[in-house]
A and B are shown apart, each in its own frame.
Chain A
């Protein structure tokens, strides 16, 4: 099995996904050059944020089709991105619209959209070793009073201060720093 992974960011995802894959699919070996894919490999492409990720997913589809031509290699294209304020359906529509506009269809490979709702850091807030029930800093006490992710679903948390934190995702990211 070979997997082509497109991630939105260039830091968190590039640390977390390889670590996860090391546990979940230890047989997969990361490759630095996608054109050297053989068996049981995965390749991670960092797309530098939204909306550029849609262009890069489209280009990845073209590359996968080229690599697969004559010698099927990639089984999955995994697209990992933050939903932020949007729905999963919206992300799917954006990807499909871009592929349609570029006249590209992913052949013989399954695309899986792996959404981080709201962002990857939101998931970390659900991890008891990341979230501290008794932070010392006043700011984080204020965050807990606003929404206690220790007891409630982090994915449902809003934004405490939309002027200070430009988006829900920024607030979720900041909340992990406590």
Chain B
């Protein structure tokens, strides 16, 4: 999938992300609190909506391409005021979709309102009103590509260092997993993915290890060992060996920069054509010894992927061409997105683009 544009509004809170266009690499920059992370959250919510989740008061319009076809998907959930919601039932509440449509180019695929759902010019039987028709009709040939497209959107997950033990790990430990099983398993953190790459003797484990060692030349080896729980069940634990140090460094002792770097390398090495990867605060925990090489991995990825990320770091912002910047500002609940060109940032000035950017009140104050 490649995302082209998004408008996203929460009619309950009033938050309104106005028309944002995406490139293969989109860098969201701006003052803290303007809504950069909200844009990533909005995209993740769209992915959840496509899988049948409902959200109070959300309204969206998104354009994207999949398999060389251009799609437009829009919809709106009913807005229920907080006072009308029983807090003890809040997790069980589902919100009705009041309108939704999907089209491919000029051709309408489905349209629905509160009274009917019309797919491919035929009215369907009554279906769940709180689930997107993308989920409901995912077996249909015209909708299936869209359902699959949104499964390719995910956020870089590098924060979870705890022990993870679930049925997928338990079952997978006994069976063989192929590369695509590992790549596409949403239940696996990046660290668990390398566990299964190694266990299944896949060459990607070595590629990841070599990339990591290029950034951290003192690291000699990455390994996954097994920890044992009180009930004698085992769980995977990451460990690293450094040159000149006899003892292994275990998962809970690894620096946050190394951990995040490894997570980014795993995610980007396993990424496939059409993946859309969201990265919030790209530079978090990264030192000067790794930030440039990791920035290169996202700027020039090996696969045909789309990366949408946020950053405050001058090196990252400077490294990524200003044509890929989206400067986010906010006025009240309205989140606006500007290109560098709109702020008159460009080569007409002899100042670096980053220096031009930090002079603007849009960047400094988050308002325009």
Binding site for B on A (CB under 8 A): 10, 32-36, 44-46, 48, 56, 58-60, 62-63, 66
Contacts and interface: CB of A to CB of B under 8 A. Distances in A.
B355 interface: yes
A95 to B, nearest CB: 15
A36 B348 CA distance: 13
Interface in B322-368: 343-344, 348-352, 355, 358-362
Contacts of A33: 343-344, 360
Nearest to A33: B344
Contact of B359 (A46, A58, A66): A46
Contact of B351 (A10, A36, A44, A60): A60
B80 to A, nearest CB: 42
Nearest to B368: A32
Contacts of B362: 32
A60 B359 CA distance: 13
A10 B358 CA distance: 10
A46 B349 CA distance: 15
B348 to A, nearest CB: 7
A32 B358 CA distance: 11
Contact of A59 (B351, B360, B361): B351
Contacts of A44: 359
B338 to A, nearest CB: 12
11 contacts: A10-B358, A33-B343, A35-B348, A35-B349, A45-B355, A46-B358, A48-B358, A59-B350, A60-B351, A63-B350, A66-B350
A6 to B, nearest CB: 10
Contacts of B361: 32
Question: Which 6 A-B pairs have CB atoms at the shortest separation, nearest pair first?
Answer: A62-B350, A59-B350, A59-B351, A33-B344, A32-B361, A63-B349
A45 B350 contact: no
A46 B358 CA distance: 8
A138 to B, nearest CB: 36
- Scoring B350, B352, B358 by chain A CB atoms within 10 A of each residue's CB, the highest score goes to B350
Given A33-B343, A33-B344, A35-B344, A63 B359 contact: no
Q: How large is the interface on B (under 10, 10 to 19, 20 to 34, 35 or more residues)?
A: 10 to 19
B352 to A, nearest CB: 8
- Scoring B352, B355, B361 by chain A CB atoms within 10 A of each residue's CB, the highest score goes to B355
A33 B346 CA distance: 12
Contacts of A32: 359-362
Nearest to B346: A35
Contact of A66 (B344, B348, B358): B348
B339 to A, nearest CB: 14
Contacts of B355: 45, 48, 56, 59
A137 B351 CA distance: 44
B351 A63 contact: yes
Given A32-B360, A46-B359, A59 B344 contact: no
A56 B344 contact: no
B349 A59 contact: yes
Contacts of B358: 10, 46, 48
Contacts of A48: 355, 358
B164 to A, nearest CB: 43
Contacts of B360: 32-33
- Scoring B343, B344, B359, B361 by chain A CB atoms within 10 A of each residue's CB, the highest score goes to B359
Nearest to B359: A45
Nearest to A102: B350
Contacts of B348: 35, 66
Contacts of B350: 58-59, 62-63, 66
Nearest to A44: B359
- Scoring B343, B344, B349, B352 by chain A CB atoms within 10 A of each residue's CB, the highest score goes to B349
A88 to B, nearest CB: 25
Contacts of B349: 34-35, 59, 63
Nearest to B362: A32
B113 to A, nearest CB: 45
A60 B362 CA distance: 21
Nearest to A52: B355
Given A48-B358, A56-B355, A59-B349, 5 more contacts: A35-B344, A35-B348, A36-B344, A63-B349, A66-B350
- Scoring A32, A36, A44, A66 by chain B CB atoms within 10 A of each residue's CB, the highest score goes to A32
Contacts of B351: 45, 56, 59-60, 63
Nearest to A32: B361
A106 to B, nearest CB: 13
A116 B110 CA distance: 68
Contacts of A35: 344, 348-349
B30 to A, nearest CB: 15
B2 to A, nearest CB: 32
Contacts of A46: 358-359
A13 to B, nearest CB: 13
Nearest to A34: B349
